[in-house]
Amino acid sequence: MSSELVIAYYDASPDTTRQERWQALLTPLLGTFRMVGLLDAAAEQAQIALVWSPPTGRLAQLSALKLIISLGQGVDHLMREPDLPKSAHIVRLVDPNMSHALSQWVILNILDHYREGRLYRAYRAEKAFIQRPQIETADLPVAVYGMGAIGQVIASQLAGLGFDVHGWSRTKRDFGSQITAYHGSDGFRQLTQTCRCHVCILPLTPETEGLFSAEIFNSMPTGALFINGGRGKQVVEADLLAAIRSGQLGGAALDVFAVEPLPDSHPFWDEPNITIWPHVAAQTNPETAARQVASAITSVLAGKTPDNLVDLARGY
Ligand code: OXD
């Protein structure tokens, strides 16, 4: 039996240079190893899988796996896997670079909405030099749903910009003096009813699937802004559309959708008040994530528990 380190790679993209890029970045950190495609026969010797959205059932065939690393912050792509090898740890990326990218995306959408960027771009197209009264944001309450590593960066950066920020987590937590903490279903309802801007960064779990439905959108103050950088399936899309069309919501910015790529026939495309981003809010950056990936691999090979472990039962 060979003790050679074999890493099986898959990222669901036609761009084959990504695998080479990961290999080049990991080599100085790990020394000699062999990187193979997850679907190659050689993957059966792999101790490590570095994957995004692998074909269902493939990981279950790899009995030598000790570690599965999600190539993103979310792990819902692994949750649908039947029979993941029991001996394998599962970790996700927690990359400050991605947290900052997602935070910048949220801030971009909030500022564009409240500074009326779309309207001023339309004026500009008409060469119309029209000034509108500025919308004050200091007392504009913003809710951030999902106060993990990313949510906390978003909340503190929004607080730094002078927003009145409220953070929601499943269980009771404290986020410091700048962010009012809420938790549980009562806290969730309080926030949906009082905040004028709602930012979802939640992981997809059975509890969060379909969470943002007509009932929740209708409980929000009229004209609220809804931003989703979590997962598409957390939103009942027909209910979001109805809330936008009726004016109950003043706008939505979405990076994630129940079906991706968003089909051509999807009615969201025809709604000017829905800003559509093609799942690009925070892209995995191998340059910044490689160190974390290498450290998870060396920990597991040394018999230690890696950081950023995923609890499959909890769903993130
Ligand atoms: C992720 C994502 O989970 O990009 O990292 O959605």
> Which tens digit of pLDDT belongs to each residue from 16-26?
899 999 999 99
pLDDT at residue 2 in the model = 52
Q: Please give the number of the atom of ligand 1 that sits closest to the Cα of 76.
A: 3
pLDDT at residue 45 in the model = 97
Reference 291, options 93, 62, 48; nearest CA is: 93
Q: Which of 73, 91, 204 should be mutated for ligand 1, with most atoms under 8 A from CB?
A: 73
pLDDT at residue 79 in the model = 86
pLDDT at residue 99 in the model = 96
DSSP state of 167: E
| 147 band by pLDDT with thresholds 50, 70 and 90 | very high
Inform me whether the pLDDT recorded for 1 exceeds 50.
no
Reference 65, options 85, 93, 91, 35; nearest CA is: 85
CA of 3 to the centre of ligand 1 (A): 32
pLDDT at residue 3 in the model = 79
Q: What is the mean pLDDT of the chain?
A: 95
Peptide bond before residue 261 is cis, with ω within 30 degrees of 0: yes
Does residue 121 carry a catalytic annotation? Answer: no
Inform me whether the pLDDT recorded for 39 exceeds 90.
yes
Between 87 and 147, residue with greater pLDDT: 147
Question: SS3 sequence, 114-136?
Answer: HCCHHHHHHHHHCCCCCCCCCCC
Token pair 């080599």 is found at 27
Between 16 and 116, residue with greater pLDDT: 116
Q: For the whole model, what pTM was predicted? A: 0.94
Inform me whether the pLDDT recorded for 314 exceeds 90.
no
CA of 73 to the centre of ligand 1 (A): 5
Inform me whether the pLDDT recorded for 196 exceeds 50.
yes
